[in-house]
Structure 1
Amino acid sequence: MGAIFTLEMKKNLQDKGLLFWMVILPIIFTYLFIEIFTSGADDIAKLEVITSIVPGYIVMFVFFIMISMVTSFIKDRDSGMTARIASAPIKPKFYLLGKWLPYILIVCVQIFILFSFGKVVYDINLEQPILLTSLSIFLAYMVTGFGLFLALSVKTENMGIALTQVIALGGALISGLWVPIDMMPNMLQKTAEFLPQYWAHQALQDTMHGTLAYKDFFTASGVLFAYGTSGFLLAVIRYRSFLKVARS
């Protein structure tokens, strides 16, 4: 598992496109939309907008790690790497963990960079840093767990990219990452409660304000953990079908 982890990290560190998707593009979007929505606003309104947009765009853009995960698994499948590893004495769950853990680490670094950008440029409040850090780890766990399942389920890279965009952008729209949830129709507000993006966004905002209660922290963390674990378990189940395609 350690060798797989090391190899996966090396591949991602050499991928310049990953830096664009995970850091540069989120910063550009965050800056542009803050400038648009805070134009002419007073200091109080401006702070509220920034406190919504920064975590909102972080939650949205972490989902784009799934593109890299899909690309990695499909390249391994088509190059014969997956079949060769399967012939070695390593259990599927350890192979998947070796591929999965680097992406959890990458997303944690991404979240740290984007919150640091918000702090340096906009002086955002980070009133509950321990809870914020914990939620960030759960968020990274959730999105990469779901990405693991997606990577083993799609047949082509294009399909993976398309589904990632649907999940990231569609989830952002419904979960109130673009528009405050209170301004959305009641039906969409109810639907948002079934999505992990909603729970992550609301909890991160509250940590920034310093108002996140422990009960709400455990609820949000539980939702993110459940989604991530479900993704991993489904990936383990899906691995056998993925391996058949690799061997063929």
Structure 2
Amino acid sequence: MRKIVTICGLELKRLLKKKQSYVVMFLMPLLFTFIFGGLSSGESMEKTKVLLVDKDDSFLSKEFTHQLKELNSLFTIEAVSETKMIDYLESKKVAAALVIPRGFKQEINSKKEPEMTFLTIPEFTSSGPIKEVVENRLMKLRLMVSASSEWSRYSGDEWSVMYEKIDSNIKETSFHIKKTNIEEKRSTAEINGASRVAPGFSIMFVMIMIMSVTGTILEARSSGVWSRLLIAPASRFEIAAGYLLFFFIIGFIQFALLIVSTHYLFGVHWGDPVALLLLMVALLLAVVGIGLLIATLVKTVEQQAAIGNVVVVATCMISGVYWPLEIEPEFMQKIAQFLPQTWAMSGFTDLLVNGAGVLDIIDQIGLLLVFAILFLFIGISRVKFE
């Protein structure tokens, strides 16, 4: 273990002597977060207008429309005809529209989920939260109707009578019950502009840094350090482990300091610290594996830096680091499922936006560990100990 730590320590000292390392590790990501976070914060906070076409025109469709309008801070609802909706969408006067289908009431009463139609213009990139509100409001309506129907079976009264009682008294219960809005997963801190961009830029610059430091194996070969290590009293496992520990520690230090810096400088709330730590470790292991793999495929440090940066930028673009995945073509979204940044961004989004815990992002952590095992196995197996 001492030999592993010694090799790691020597490489750390060499790297930290270079002033340009601090620029890539800290200055650039913080600068990008500040600039693009400020631009994001400057966006208009006006509510999105969503047109609504009610083809069912029933008691329940009107109730659903009413529920969408009340206590909703994300968007406003305007009921229009189908012709007007089409005209407004084609002229891009509005960004989104919702269509309540015929048979809506019948489907709800049959305990089925109606097929709602949600239409958006191509430029609209914020449909996710709106869809979530619509789905949760629909779930609430179905639960209320289901409860009313069950009561009707025993009382003999019309289900609509109980529905109206539930609707009118739901907020006036005399019991001391802790109530949580159905569209809110958890109570989270306010999301500012920096919070939207900090995870993406942190991932990108950590990857760039790790791609750079994994090139130290090539540098060690060309400078003769690798040859001296091979004749030193250290096993191949200890040499490999020393370098892997070095790569991981550099990434961990950079990511940890970026998390702390963005929290205190820009008010970014990263969420559950335990979940954040596990997600960060899993991501770093995957990135170290990618960097090591690239280092075994090239011959010079310059090639490592050039190819590594191209890989980082290209995969970050596809995986939704710079913009939402939903605006990308479908084939790119499918490719993104095979990139670790996609799952890292999904995990960080759940932590920052939804207040997720470890169990909520266990799938993302598990997938990142699978990426890590795959890339590390291939990378280590290609390292030439000669």
Q: TM-score range by the shorter chain?
A: 0.7 to 0.9
Q: In structure 2, how many angstroms separate the alpha carbons of the residues matched to 1:41 and 1:160?
A: 42
Distance (whole Å) between structure 1 residues aligned to residue 355 and residue 336 of structure 2: 21
User: Residue 57 of structure 1: CA displacement?
Assistant: 0.9
Q: How far apart are 1:48 and its partner, in Å?
A: 6.0
TM-score (norm 2): 0.58
Q: Measure the CA separation in 1 of the matches of 2:256 and 2:206.
A: 11
Cα distance, 1:6 vs structure 2: 1.7
Taking a change above 3 Å as real, the CA distance of residues 182 and 152 of structure 1, as seen in their structure-2 partners, is same
Deviations 1:194-245 (A, max 9, x none): 10000001101111224436555222112222222222222222122xx45x
2:300 equivalent to 1:156: yes
Q: Which residue of 1 aligns with 2:19?
A: 16
- Cα distance in 2 for residues equivalent to 1:181 and 1:110: 26
Q: Which of 190, 209, 212 is residue 68 of structure 1 equivalent to?
A: 212
Question: How high is the sequence identity, in percent, across the aligned residues?
Answer: 25
Q: Which residue of the other structure, out of 236, 241, 257, is the alignment partner of 1:113? A: 257
Aligned equivalents of 1:184, 1:68: Cα separation in 2: 29
Does residue 220 of structure 1 match 2:373? no
SS at match of 2:383: helix
Secondary structure (helix, strand or coil) at the match of 1:60 reads helix
Question: 1:66: Cα distance to partner?
Answer: 3.1
Question: Could you say what secondary structure the match of 2:290 adopts?
Answer: helix
State the distance in 2 between where 1:155 and 1:98 align.
21
1:57 is matched with 201
* Worse-matched range after superposition: 105-114 or 207-216: 207-216
Distance 2:347 2:308 in 1: 23
Counterpart CA distance in 1 for 2:375 and 2:11 is 19
The equivalent of 2:343 in structure 1 is 199
1:26: which partner in 2? 29
Q: CA deviation at 1:130?
A: 1.1
Query: Which of 230, 235, 241 is the matching residue for 2:374?
Result: 230
1:156 aligned partner, one-letter code? T
Tell me the TM-score normalized by structure 1: 0.88
Query: Which sections of structure 2, spanning at least 5 residues, go unmatched?
Result: 47-73, 75-125, 127-189
Question: Aligned pair 1:180/2:324, yes or no?
Answer: yes
Q: Which structure has more helix as a fraction of its residues?
A: 1
Partner Cα separation in structure 2 for residue 79 and residue 178 of structure 1: 38
- Among 6, 10, 22, the alignment partner of 1:7 is 10
- Preserved CA contact (<8 Å) 2:33 2:197: yes
Task: Pick which of 199-208 and 29-38 moved more.
Answer: 29-38
Partner of 1:122: 266
Q: Relative contact order, CA 8 A, sep 6+: which one is greater?
A: 1
Name whichever of 66-75 and 12-21 sits farther off: 66-75
Residue 131, structure 1, aligned to residue 275, structure 2? yes
Native 8 Å contact 1:128 1:210 kept in 2: no
Check the 8 A contact 2:350/2:361 in 1, yes or no: no
SS at match of 2:296: helix
Deviation of the 1:155 alpha carbon:
0.6
Task: State the distance in 2 between where 1:224 and 1:129 align.
Answer: 18
Contact 2:344 2:364 in 1 (8 A): yes
Residues 275 and 357 in structure 2, CA contact (< 8 A), matched pair in contact too: no
Structure 2 CA distance for aligned equivalents of residues 97 and 152 of structure 1: 16
In structure 1, the partner of 2:237 is 93
How many equivalent pairs are there?
242
In structure 1, how many angstroms separate the alpha carbons of the residues matched to 2:210 and 2:251?
A: 10
In structure 2, the partner of 1:42 is 45
Indicate conservation of the 8 Å contact 2:25/2:254, yes or no: yes
For structure 1, the residue ranges without an aligned partner over 5 or more in a row are none
Once the 2 structures are TM-superposed, how far is the Cα of residue 64 of structure 1 from its aligned partner?
1.0
Range with bigger deviation, 209-218 or 52-61: 209-218
**Superimposed CA distance per residue, residues 161-220 of structure 1 (whole angstroms, 9 cap, x where no aligned partner):** 111111211111101111112222222222111100000011011112244365552221
Q: Helix, strand or coil for the counterpart of 2:191?
A: helix
Cα distance in 2 for residues equivalent to 1:93 and 1:234 = 15
